[in-house]
Copies of this chain bind each other. A is one copy, B any other.
Amino acid sequence: MSSKATHFFLFILWLFFLWNSSVFGQTISPETESCLTCHRTVTPGIVADWESSRHSRVSPGEGLKKPFLERRISASGLPDSLQNVVVGCGECHRLRPKRHADTFDHNGMDVHIVVTPEDCGVCHPQEQGQYRQNKMAHARTNLTQNDLYQDFVKAVNGLQAYYDHTLVLHNPEDQTNKLSCYFCHGTRVTVEGMVPRETAFGEMTFPDLSGWPNQGVGRINPDTSKGSCTPCHARHAFSIEVARKPYTCGECHKGPDVLAYKVYEASKMGNIYSSLKEQWDFQAVPWTIGKDFTAPTCATCHMSLLVDEQGNEIAFRSHRMNDRLYVRLFGLPYAHPQPRSPETSAMKNEAGLQLPTNLDGSMVQGPLIDQNEQMKRKQKMQSVCQGCHSTQWVNKHFSDLDHVIRTTNIRTLEATKILQQAWHRGLERGIPQRSNIFDETLEKKWVLSWFFYSNSTRLAAAMAGADYAVFDNGRWQLALNLREMEDWLELKTVADSVGGTERLLP
């Protein structure tokens, strides 16, 4: 009991030092001090946000001294300038000035606006390297360099003019694309010149950025690098807590096309997270199953460095998202093994479309990972699951997922058959007519089938998301949509046979 009392007073003492240490200032570089002088007034939110960050309290030099598993930076060495100062404006916005087309003279300092993965990589090279191997880093170019995907972009964003009783699809404006697909996939940010602007401190001149603002994961930056760290590590607090919470992933993965967040939220895991998260530690590195949390978030299963209470490693940190993924569940007509390369536009199917599968669901050989690699990745994920689930539970869960992949792929195949009939009869113009396959009614309903409903059904199986497999964009909608496709084909055929479209003429 008296040792308990000692503990109690040590606890109070510890609280005191904790409070004290957060008050002690760390060394801020003169450059950062000079930025703060004005920006404390002109952008107070940015400064206060940064002040709440670990960057503002710990120098990279100190960070490097931590035990390996607790380390948040992965550099083996650091430039002298970053050893003994905390990481502030003056550090990040002045790195690699020559490489940045957006570098400009700002009150006597060469600063750039857009901090890129190459900049962050000075202290976090391993994360940068992994992210470069991540499909997300190529999210923009995988769209822009794929003719088929460009047809999809056009079908979504292009204005349709009703002219002479027909809808004519126009090319989308760049600004529309920026606010639509490329909002998440990333814009190309270029410097269009320098523009003067009146400020609180007199006239100043700034680079004029096109494709800005944007925080897409595959953004092309003024230093030619690809990607962005801030979609997940929201500036300027760069809080690991924010990155680990599911809302971050949910920014882009919530809609009916990529509803992973919603499925998670409806799952048992999401339930426990929502119920108990205030009692968990989202800042601990490494992250201890059971001690720091009792249910996973997106980051837990897909990215984080996990240990058990004895400190045994359960999974290594990775910023290459598909390290623990053996199949690709969403985005394309048929689920299929993960592609080998994060740059997917080189893939081509038998019909010449830049897809890893043919329209009948058969896989294109070569660009996809083989069974061996699939098994390896599946096992990585399973070892995370097994932190909280028995082996039988986990094995059967994945066998269920494989079942769903197979049966939803059949759903796509049947929908494709109806669409091909429409093309064959000339009711819509598709592959036989070398036309956009996403811009007409039945084509769009075909897209719904796999892009929304099969996707939802699969993700629900992957994360145990109940109704997303049934009535919430799941099998019910798959069945209804297929019936509507069948009806459409019949009605259009009949209309056509009695001279349909001509009757539209006035």
Contact = CB atoms under 8 A, between A and B. Distances in A.
Interface of A: 4, 8, 16, 19-20, 23, 40-49, 51-52, 113, 155-162, 165-167, 173, 175-176, 178-181, 183-184, 197, 199, 206, 208-209, 212-213, 215, 234, 237, 239, 241-242, 245, 247-248, 250-252, 254-258, 265-268, 270-272, 274-276, 278, 289-291, 294, 308-310, 312, 386-393, 396-397, 400, 403-404, 407, 410-411, 414, 417-418, 421, 439-441, 444, 451-452, 460-461, 464, 466-472, 474-476, 479-480, 482-484, 486-495, 497-501, 503-504
Most chain B C-beta atoms within 10 Å of own C-beta, residue among A245, A294, A468: A294
Contact of A160 (B42, B403, B414): B414
B388 A43 contact: yes
A486 B212 contact: no
A280 to B, nearest CB: 11
A452 to B, nearest CB: 8
Given A252-B466, A254-B472, 16 more contacts: A41-B312, A42-B386, A45-B289, A45-B389, A48-B294, A156-B479, A159-B411, A162-B418, A162-B482, A173-B407, A242-B275, A255-B468, A258-B467, A444-B480, A451-B471, A494-B503
Contact of A483 (B167, B472, B493): B167
Contacts of A276: 239, 241-242
A436 to B, nearest CB: 11
A209 B392 contact: yes
A463 B12 CA distance: 44
Quick one: copies of this chain in the complex? 3
Contacts of A312: 41
A265 B19 CA distance: 33
B162 A486 contact: yes
Contacts of A212: 392-393, 396
A40 B310 CA distance: 9
Contacts of A290: 44-45, 47-49, 51
Given A160-B414, A180-B469, A403 B309 contact: no
Contacts of A258: 467
Nearest to A307: B44
A261 to B, nearest CB: 9
Contacts of A460: 179
A482 B439 CA distance: 11
A167 B485 CA distance: 10
A479 B206 contact: no
Contacts of A471: 156, 255-257, 451-452
A494 B487 contact: no
12 contacts: A40-B309, A42-B386, A159-B414, A160-B483, A173-B407, A179-B404, A179-B461, A183-B464, A242-B271, A252-B467, A490-B504, A498-B498
A96 to B, nearest CB: 20
A100 to B, nearest CB: 16
Nearest to A244: B275
